């Protein structure tokens, strides 16, 4: 369960709620991020246009994104609005909610392995990452990239570091950008195929290991060169490096014919 340090949300905050009861003058929902705190959604805050039946807009057990419009700390009560949430806000909050759920799952799994409570997971790891990066998942992703340096800088207890990195790596899909070049490449003579293969191998020798290079035949003499990397601009640089190397290999060599079809 996602834990917040505050027991109540703040006015203007976007929150995720699950509708528990719908009646003529509004509905009740529980706030998923605030320990299932009950909130009230007045009928007047359901939709910007008039509706004759509130159940045509919301239903029980439905998850909705709402905006907090009133907080009574003395009574521990919250009023929310559905109509004050625009599409862009809804999409961003939903994305943030999914990331928070993923981070919560990771913390829960590692906490169980270490014999710790979920609250300890948030106190010793989660909230420290949230303070620095804005959300916990972003902090965990950064920790993977710098091999745990982030966790050490935030003084996360050492017992968490290794199991956290191992677990996070199972849940993160690295986004790869692909740059494609299409070329015509011929080699004349009995060993033409081998010569082309060797030329391709030599052309990619200088490409750093963090980039993945795939070369396909799309019907000889045409070939496709794909370079995959986390940074599209840097992947483009490496693709151009390969093309430059191939041009160098084939320049003034009557044994080869080479040209780029798509730059």
Using CA atoms in the order 13, 17, 19, 20, what is the torsion angle rounded to 10 degrees? -110
Q: Give the model's confidence band at 51: pLDDT under 50 very low, under 70 low, under 90 confident, else very high.
A: confident
Structure confidence by residue, pLDDT tens digits, 204-236:
999 998 899 999 999 889 999 999 998 899 999
Other CB atoms within a 10 A radius of the CB of residue 224 amount to 15
Structure confidence by residue, pLDDT tens digits, 237-257:
999 999 999 999 999 888 899
Q: At residue 262, does pLDDT exceed 70?
A: no
DSSP assignment string, 197-216:
HHHHHHHTTTS-TTSEEEEE
Is pTM, for the whole model, over 0.75?
no
Q: What is the pLDDT of residue 234?
A: 94
Range of lowest pLDDT (26-30, 76-80, 190-194): 190-194
∠ CA 68-69-74, nearest 5°, is 90
More confident residue, 51 or 109: 109
Q: What is the pLDDT of residue 121?
A: 97
């Amino acid at each position: 369960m996602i834990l917040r340090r505050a027991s109540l949300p703040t006015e203007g905050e976007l929150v995720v709620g699950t509708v528990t009861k719908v009646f003529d003058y509004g509905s009740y929902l529980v706030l998923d991020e605030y320990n299932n705190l009950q909130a009230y959604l007045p009928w007047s805050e359901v939709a910007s246009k008039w509706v004759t039946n509130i159940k045509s807009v919301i239903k029980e057990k439905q998850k909705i994104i709402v905006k907090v419009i009133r907080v009574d700390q003395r009574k521990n009560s919250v009023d929310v609005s559905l109509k004050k949430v625009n599409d862009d806000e809804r999409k961003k909050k939903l994305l943030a909610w999914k990331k928070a759920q993923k981070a919560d799952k990771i913390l829960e799994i590692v906490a169980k392995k270490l014999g710790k409570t979920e609250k300890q997971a948030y106190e010793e790891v989660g909230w420290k990452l949230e303070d620095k990066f804005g959300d916990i998942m972003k902090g965990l992703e950064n920790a993977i990239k710098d091999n745990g340096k982030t966790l050490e800088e935030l003084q996360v207890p050492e017992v968490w570091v290794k199991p956290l990195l191992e677990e996070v790596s199972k849940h993160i899909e690295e986004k790869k950008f692909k740059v494609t070049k299409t070329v015509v490449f011929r080699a004349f003579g009995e060993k033409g195929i081998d010569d082309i293969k060797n030329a391709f191998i030599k052309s990619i020798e200088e490409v750093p290991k963090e980039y993945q290079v795939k070369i396909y035949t799309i019907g000889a003499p045409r070939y496709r060169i794909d370079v995959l990397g986390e940074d599209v601009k840097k992947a483009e640089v490496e693709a151009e490096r390969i093309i430059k190397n191939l041009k160098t290999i084939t320049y003034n060599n009557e044994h080869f014919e080479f040209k780029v079809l798509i730059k």
